[in-house]
Structure formats: C-alpha cells, structure tokens
C-alpha cells in the first residue's frame, strides 16, 4: 500500500503499481466519485487529454471521474494538492513533464514527486508546435529568428507555466538559435492563447491539440519540435530542418 503521503499520479511515467491495484480490488475500489487533478488551467491540451482519459475511466469503473483544475506555480499547486491528499485512490494527478523538472527549477518543494506520488501509466508522447500570432511578420522559423534578433529583449515568449515542457522547449530553442525573449508564464495553454491570438505575446510552444487554432486561421504555426514531421501535421516542417539543426524536443 502507499505510504502515508503517497497518492496516484497519472500520465507522468510508465511504471505500474501492482500492490495498489491488488489492495484496490479487495476493497472494491472505486465505489464513489474519483477526482482527477489537472495542475494547469482549463482549455489547454493537458486539460483536453485529461478529460478524454477521465471520460473513458468513468465508463470502465462505473463511477464518475471529475476533473479539478488547480493551476499555478508551474504546476506545483496541483501537484502538491495531490501529494498531500489522503492516499485512498480517490485523488489522481494528471501529471506532465514538470514533475521531472520542478525539483531542479525551484529552490524548495513541499512535496516529492518521487516519494509522495505513485506513478500509474504513461498517457501520451508527442512533439510541440511553435505558434505565432497572425500579426507577426514571421512566416517561417528562420523568419521568426530574424525578427527576434531585430528586436532583442523586446518580444515576449509565452508559456503554460515556468518549468513545464513547453517552457523548457522554448528555452532550448532560444539558446540554440542565439536569441533572447522575455518570458511570460501563464496558468495554462488556454490563457496563453488568449493573449497570443491578438498579438499581446509573440510566440508560444504547445502540443498538437492547439493546431485547431492555426487551421481555423486564428494563429500561424511555424514548425514542430520533433525529430521528424508529425503525422498530425505533415505539412509543418520541423524546427531542425527549418533553421536550427539538431534541435529536437518530445514531451
């Protein structure tokens, strides 16, 4: 059984926890509503994926799985909430890459991703996509780099939260491209896109669910972060083939 402060984390690792499953089956778990905490704001790709998983788990378990969005502090608010929850299997965390990086990015955490959370399953692996507002003069990744170099320190790169996968992908891109932008962290992809569309921020890296915004003409997609073009958008070149050789990031 989990230790006193352990709960379940869903989506951060591919490790299976057989002792928890055996104990749960003995106790006929779940016999009531299960809460799945999403540590970012509603409306972004992490939230969308969590709701798809929650819907399927509700059907499988015969119990309602409710999504609770607890964004902020680079996912630490939601992560800590689950870590401190009663370890009875009724509070799940739909975790993301920040669980692997926050320990190195924050001076102190009031939870341990490795000892306070029990990983259950990997949910998805995917590249990110680079988006700019339609008002941007950049039509390609190379054009974006030139645009930023012409306005050093004056343009804003948004993220869904400090230390998250998209933020780290952005930092690596800027480092390898030799450019500097001001970072604007948000509580999730939804709020970030609200400012990207009208051009209040000048760039954003996010997952494939956000391609609906570019396909509907609300923003422009310039490239993907994967080693090869994504089957979800084969017409979109990779950042590596466009302008920054050797740049590859997968979430």
Are 7-119 and 129-242 in the same CATH fold? Answer: yes
Q: Among candidates 34, 16, 173, 40, which has minimal Cα distance to 99?
A: 40
Q: Residue 24: pLDDT above 60? A: no
Superfamily name and number for 129-242: Periplasmic binding protein-like II (3.40.190.10)
Give the pLDDT score at 125.
81
Query: For 116, phi and psi rounded to 5 degrees?
Result: -100, -5
Tokens 């997952």 — which residue?
207
Q: Among candidates 132, 138, 131, 129, which has minimal Cα distance to 226?
A: 129
Sheet order of strands, 156-159 included: 182-185, 156-159, 203-206, 129-133, 219-224
User: What is the residue extent of each domain of the chain?
Assistant: 7-119, 129-242
For 171-222, how does the pLDDT look when each residue is reduced to its tens digit (9 = 90+)?
Answer: 999 999 999 999 999 988 889 989 999 999 999 999 888 899 999 999 999 9
For the whole prediction, is pTM greater than 0.85?
no
For 208, the token pair is 């494939």
Residue 73 CB partners (closer than 8 Å, separation 6+): 161
Give the pLDDT score at 14.
26
Pick the CATH number of 7-119 from 3.40.190.150, 3.40.47.10, 3.40.50.2300, 3.40.50.720: 3.40.190.150
For 104-153, how does the pLDDT look when each residue is reduced to its tens digit (9 = 90+)?
Answer: 888 889 999 888 998 899 888 889 999 999 999 999 999 999 999 999 88
């Amino acid at each position: 059984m989990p230790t006193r402060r352990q709960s379940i984390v869903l989506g951060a690792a591919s490790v299976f926890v057989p002792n928890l499953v055996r104990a749960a089956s003995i106790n006929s778990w779940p016999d009531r509503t299960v809460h799945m905490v999403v540590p970012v704001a509603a409306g972004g790709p992490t939230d969308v994926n969590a709701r798809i998983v929650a819907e399927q788990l509700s059907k499988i378990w015969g119990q309602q799985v409710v999504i609770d969005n607890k964004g902020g502090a680079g996912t630490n608010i939601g992560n800590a909430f689950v870590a401190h929850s009663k370890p009875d299997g009724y509070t799940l965390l739909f975790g993301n890459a920040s669980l692997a990086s926050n320990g190195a990015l924050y001076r102190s955490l009031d939870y341990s991703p490795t000892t306070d959370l029990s990983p259950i399953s990997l949910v998805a692996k995917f590249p990110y996509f680079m988006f700019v507002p339609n008002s941007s003069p950049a039509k390609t990744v190379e054009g974006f780099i030139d645009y930023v170099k012409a306005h050093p320190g004056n343009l804003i790169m948004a993220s869904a939260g400090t230390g998250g996968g998209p933020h780290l992908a952005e930092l690596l891109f800027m480092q390898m491209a030799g450019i500097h932008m001001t970072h604007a962290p948000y509580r999730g992809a939804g709020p970030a896109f609200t400012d990207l569309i009208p051009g209040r921020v000048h760039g954003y890296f996010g997952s494939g669910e956000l391609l609906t915004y570019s396909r509907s003409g609300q923003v422009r997609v310039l490239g993907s972060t994967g080693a090869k073009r994504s089957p979800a958008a084969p017409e979109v070149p990779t950042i590596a083939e466009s302008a920054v050789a050797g740049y590859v990031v997968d979430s």
